[in-house]
Amino acid sequence: MRKAIITAGLALLATTVGLAQNAPSRDNGKVVYDKWCLPCHGAVAPAEMPFGGYGLPGTSALRIKYRGEIPAVLEDRTDLVPAFIRTVVRGGLFGMPMTRRTEISDAELDDIITYLTRNNN
């Protein structure tokens, strides 16, 4: 009986530690977002990019779509929900291509979602 209790306790501890290590990270979400999303969805193109300083395709498309009613820059939004972000990233939408798990893992996508929803009410 004692061995079973110890084994169960160790299993619970391992599960708890594993969950803590796998909790979504807003900081890593920013890093992954900057690598994969910012080139199309930033405010303006960084100077070192071709056509630097001009509007980016994702931001420009959202600016036209929303006509100023919703921020075009994804990092400025407060209305994004996890299910929508996940659906658009994995399946694409209009001109945005789908993103494979070999490019952005599910854990990294969770991090991006945590980063993009950080200001939601």
Q: What is the CA radius of gyration of the chain?
A: 19
55's enclosing H/E stretch is none
Digit-coded pLDDT (tens) for 13-63: 555 445 456 789 999 999 999 999 999 998 876 555 555 555 688 888 888
More confident residue, 14 or 108: 108
Which pair of tokens denotes residue 76?
Answer: 């400025």
CA 8 – CA 10 distance, rounded (Å): 5
CATH code 1.10.760.10 for 24-116: yes
Domain map (residue ranges) of the chain = 24-116
Digit-coded pLDDT (tens) for 72-89: 899 999 999 999 999 999
Which pair of tokens denotes residue 78?
Answer: 């407060």
